[in-house]
């Protein structure tokens, strides 16, 4: 089914899926424009095309939702992306901060046989490199996200990091993709999946201070809200 949509269409469908999964609401043109990094008129034009192909249901001023057909394509591309990221790190020696852009390219091109072999080599994981859930092979299910955000916690809370989102709300209040230096910095201070941190202080102006085995670290509010955790 993925072959029915161009690479650009696949990116839009994946973006709609990810936004909707987090908000539970129809996806607005402005939200999607920020996610894929294009202008609102460009998004509107693409949404019309996606609607014509029955990949989405779109109403002007109300937003877009995926049809079953569109969701299946989005889940397939997302499954490819998260399997590829994990494989590149575990088998090819990539640093975790390097693989997101590589996966963005490869997710559109791998065959179903290669996907199956990658999944088998990894032990058919339910969660990927960043702790994000991987859609099942039949694209019928995806593990429930039971995490909270680091920035939602209070002083004294001890948490384990589950996922560091590839995109987050930046300084201009719009989502952007992290660059490798940011991921390397977070890795350097122990902010990676599986690591434990304690919330030490939450400042009224947005900074949150956490501690771990590498010391104390202060993070901006927007960064702490992009780090998914589970309370211990």
- Give the pLDDT of residue 91: 95
Q: How far is CA 73 from CA 60, 165, 200, in A?
A: 23, 21, 42
User: According to the model, what pLDDT value does residue 177 have?
Assistant: 56
The pLDDT score that the predictor gives to residue 37 is 84
Domains annotated on the chain, with CATH: 1-144 (1.10.10.10), 148-231 (2.30.30.90)
The first and second tokens of residue 10, run together, are: 């696949």
At 12, phi and psi to the nearest 5?
A: -65, -45
- Give the separation between CA 224 and CA 206, rounded to whole angstroms: 9
39 in the Ramachandran plot: left (φ > 0), alpha (ψ -120 to 50) or beta? beta
pLDDT of 168? 54
Q: What Å distances lie between residue 160 and 109, 128, 169, 197, 205, CA to CA?
A: 34, 16, 22, 6, 24
Q: Give pLDDT tens digits along the chain (232 positions).
A: 678 899 999 999 999 999 999 889 999 999 999 888 889 999 999 999 999 999 999 988 889 999 999 999 999 999 999 999 999 999 999 987 788 889 999 999 999 999 999 999 999 999 887 778 999 999 999 988 888 999 999 999 999 998 887 665 444 444 445 567 788 899 899 998 889 999 999 998 889 999 999 999 999 998 999 899 999 9
pLDDT of residue 163: 86
DSSP 61: T
Eight-class DSSP state of 93: -
0.85 exceeded by the pTM?
no
């Amino acid at each position: 089914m993925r072959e029915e949509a161009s690479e650009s269409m696949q990116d839009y469908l994946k973006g709609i899926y990810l936004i909707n999964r987090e908000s539970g609401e129809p996806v607005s043109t402005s939200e999607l424009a920020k996610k894929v990094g294009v202008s609102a008129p460009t998004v509107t034009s693409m949404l019309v095309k996606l609607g014509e192909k029955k990949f989405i249901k779109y109403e002007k001023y109300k937003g877009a939702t995926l049809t079953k057909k569109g969701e299946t394509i989005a889940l397939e591309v997302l499954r490819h992306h998260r399997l590829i990221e994990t494989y590149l790190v575990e088998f090819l020696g990539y640093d975790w901060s390097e693989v997101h852009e590589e996966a963005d390219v490869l997710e559109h091109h791998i065959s179903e046989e290669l996907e199956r072999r990658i999944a088998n080599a990894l032990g058919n994981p339910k969660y990927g490199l960043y702790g994000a859930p991987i859609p099942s092979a039949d694209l019928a299910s995806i593990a429930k996200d039971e995490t909270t955000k680091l920035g939602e916690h209070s002083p004294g809370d001890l948490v384990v990091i589950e996922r560091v989102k590839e995109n987050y709300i930046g300084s201009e209040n719009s989502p952007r993709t992290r660059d490798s230096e940011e991921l390397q910095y977070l890795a350097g201070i122990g902010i990676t999946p599986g690591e434990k941190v304690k919330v030490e202080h939450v400042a009224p102006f947005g900074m949150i201070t956490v501690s771990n085995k590498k010391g104390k670290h202060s993070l901006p509010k927007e960064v702490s809200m992009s780090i998914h955790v589970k309370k211990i």
